[in-house]
Amino acid sequence: MRRLHPPRAAALLALALAACRGDDGSPRSAADGDTLPLAERRALAGTLAWTSERDGNPEVYVARPSGEGLRRLTRGPEADYPAAPAPDGSGVLVVSVAEDSALHLEQLALYPLRGGAPRPIGPRMGRSRSPSWSPDGRWLVFESDEASFRDLYRIGADGTSPVRLTDDRLGNFEPAVSPDGAWIAFASSRDGNAELYVMRADGSGQRRLTAFHRDDWGALWSPDGRTLAFLSNRESADRVYLVRPDGSGIRRLTAAADTGAAGIDVQEAEPAWSPDGRRVAYVRRTRQGASRIRVVELSTGAVRELSDGRGRDGSPAWSPDGKYLAFTSDRDGDPELYLMRADGSGVTRLTRAPGADWLPRWLAR
């Protein structure tokens, strides 16, 4: 059960973007040393949200992929982290964390991008996290310790009509709503170690998908709903796997075992489906600290290296059209946000403020 305790700092309290701007606040251009031309970045759809520590406290910032329109979205004494963009791109769910030496409290809130006050979603509890939207944006599910160690709840997007979906002493975690809104995948420790389960959107029909004596967690639906990607340490190292929603066809994302050079313990993390479902980006890292981003073409199994591993690269986030990726890297010092084409070309640094920028989320508009 080592995976199912307060969210991995790399998941809830994790990595970055800000603005591609010069020291004077003007947008940076190709002439300033960026690889992607400013005109190309201005043509990209969507908005980037991320956590920045430039103000000393983790706050959520937003900007266009060009770096223009930079502004701070959250303000307050809590530490804020973008969790899940609204399906229509109109806002982003934020986890706000307040803590001192004796108390840790989390609150989900929906922050609109175009003005308006944030809307609290669910209770303010020790654990209130891992939200996942229904495809129509009318409701969401999240995990909370309001009445148990950890269970899953469904609630309206307006913060009303909460319904408890699970009730197990050992906990349920990381819900993921299917693309058609009919099913919810999640991890549970109800049978001992962490395994994957699915249930209908109303909490009925709960059934187990995986059965192994090691942990499975982090389920992510493919865009067509026919496959789930997940993480497992069943090979004594964290790897990305695929499985059908009925529990059949479990296989590794990459066909060959990747053990690295002698003495290097290779781990896989942070899988992310491309919008067309044809590719999966993931992070290959070693316990020695180096990490790089890879993409697998599911039709062929071909693996493409997108970053060179000069630093710790992670948190790949696809653009809405699947042609670009935002990611975090410390290759130039502090964790910063970068942008590149989906083939790994045109790597461009987007954030340049002091302090870490991390946890990028790419909103649809």
What is the Cα–Cα distance from 126 to 146, expressed in whole angstroms?
8
- Contact between 43 and 362 under an 8 Å Cβ cutoff? The reply is no
Q: Measured between alpha carbons, how far is 18 from 150 in angstroms, rounded to an integer?
A: 33
pLDDT at position 165: 98
**What is the phi/psi pair of residue 155, to 5°?**
-150, 150
Q: 């990611």: which residue's tokens?
A: 327
DSSP 137: S
End-to-end CA distance of the chain: 38
pLDDT recorded at residue 289 = 80
Contact (Cβ atoms closer than 8 angstroms) between residue 59 and residue 359: no
Residue 231, strand partner residues: 217, 240
Residues in the chain with pLDDT values less than 70: 1-34, 256-264
Q: What local confidence, expressed as pLDDT, does residue 286 receive?
A: 86
Assessment of whether the complete model's pTM goes beyond 0.75: yes
Instruction: Look up the CATH superfamily of 30-363.
Output: TolB, C-terminal domain (2.120.10.30)
DSSP class of residue 31 equals: G
The pLDDT, as a whole number, for residue 256 is 67
Tell me the per-residue pLDDT of 53-108, one tens digit each, with 9 for 90 and over.
999 999 999 999 999 999 999 998 999 999 999 999 999 999 999 987 789 999 99
The pLDDT value given to residue 260: 59
